[in-house]
Amino acid sequence: MSWFKRPNSNFEPDENGEPNGDSNQDFNAESTFAPVSDDASAGQTKVRTEGLWIKCPGCRNPLFKAELEANLYVCPKCGYHFKIGARQRIDLLLEPGYSLVCGNLRSTDPLNFFDVKSYKKRLSDAQSQTGLNDAIVTALGNIGPHPVVLSAMEYAFIGGSMGAVVGECIARAIDRSLASRHPLIIVSASGGARMMEGVVSLMQLAKIATGLAQLDQARIPYICLLTDPTTGGVTASFAMLGDLNIAEPGALIGFAGPRVIEQTIRQKLPEGFQRSEFLLEHGFLDAVVPRSDLKPYLIRALDFMNVKSPSHPAG
- Which of 162, 170, 237 shows the shortest CA–CA distance to 200? 162
Whether pLDDT at 32 is above 60: no
Contact criterion met (CB below 8 Å) for 200 and 211? no
- Residue 311 has a pLDDT of 62
Average pLDDT over residues 161-190: 97
pLDDT digits (tens, 9 = 90+) for 255-311: 998 889 999 999 999 988 999 999 999 999 999 999 999 999 999 999 999 766 556
- Residue 49 has a pLDDT of 60
197: Cβ contacts below 8 Å, ≥ 6 apart: 107, 110, 111, 113, 119, 163, 164
User: How crowded is residue 277: how many other Cβ atoms within 10 Å of its Cβ?
Assistant: 14
CA torsion sign for 229, 231, 236, 237 is negative
SS3 of 261, please? helix
Q: How confident is the model at residue 43 (pLDDT cuts 50, 70, 90)?
A: low
- Which of 305, 246, 232 shows the shortest CA–CA distance to 280? 246
Phi and psi of 128, rounded to 5°? -75, -35
pLDDT digits (tens, 9 = 90+) for 212-269: 999 999 999 999 999 999 999 999 999 999 999 999 999 999 999 888 999 999 999 9
- Residue 29 has a pLDDT of 41
pLDDT digits (tens, 9 = 90+) for 62-74: 999 999 999 999 9
d(CA 166, CA 200): 11
pLDDT digits (tens, 9 = 90+) for 114-170: 999 999 999 999 999 999 999 999 999 999 999 999 999 999 999 999 999 999 999
Quote the strand ranges of the chain, DSSP E: 53-55, 62-64, 99-101, 136-143, 146-153, 184-190, 222-230, 244-247, 287-288
Q: How many angstroms separate the most distant Cα atoms in the chain? A: 94
Q: How confident is the model at residue 50 (pLDDT cuts 50, 70, 90)?
A: low
Which amino acid is present at 310? Answer: P
| Domains defined for the chain, CATH in brackets | 1-48 (no CATH), 53-82 (no CATH), 84-304 (3.90.226.10)
